[in-house]
């Protein structure tokens, strides 16, 4: 099965505006999704240059998520992997 690739922006804008701790969740995420997810840090991906977007940003298989938090990332991935959050 092909892994889902998640890129966490480590650019300055994301770092300053609430994303500083996101790269540290890589290990926990890989454990939670047992090898089905590949997490990478990425230098500024340029999404902050678009006015409507709010940092911090991540990309999941090329799809851009903005204004993310640890919780919103897990929520999104749970849905992608079909994890039942009610359990």
Considering the complex, what minimum distance in angstroms separates the CB of residue 15 from other proteins? 7
- For the CA atoms of 85, 57, 53, 49, the dihedral, rounded to the nearest 10 degrees, stands at -170
Cβ proximity to other proteins: between 41 and 83 the closer is: 41
Contact 8, 26 (CB under 8 A): yes
Phi then psi for 58, rounded to 5 degrees? -135, 160
In the window 1-60, what residues touch other proteins (CB under 8 A)?
A: 10-13, 15-18, 20-21, 23-24, 41, 43-44
Q: Which is nearer to other proteins, 37 or 55 (CB)?
A: 55
How many residues are recorded in the chain?
A: 87
Residues lying near other proteins in the complex (CB under 8 A): 10-13, 15-18, 20-21, 23-24, 41, 43-44, 69
């Amino acid at each position: 099965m092909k892994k889902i690739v998640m890129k966490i922006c480590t650019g300055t804008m994301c770092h300053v505006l609430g994303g500083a701790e996101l790269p540290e969740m890589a290990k926990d995420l890989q454990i939670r999704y047992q090898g089905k997810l590949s997490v990478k840090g990425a230098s500024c991906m340029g999404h902050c240059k678009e006015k409507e977007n709010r940092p911090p940003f991540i990309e999941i298989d090329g799809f851009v998520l903005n204004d993310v938090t640890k919780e919103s990332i897990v929520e999104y991935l749970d849905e992608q992997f079909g994890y039942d959050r009610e359990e």
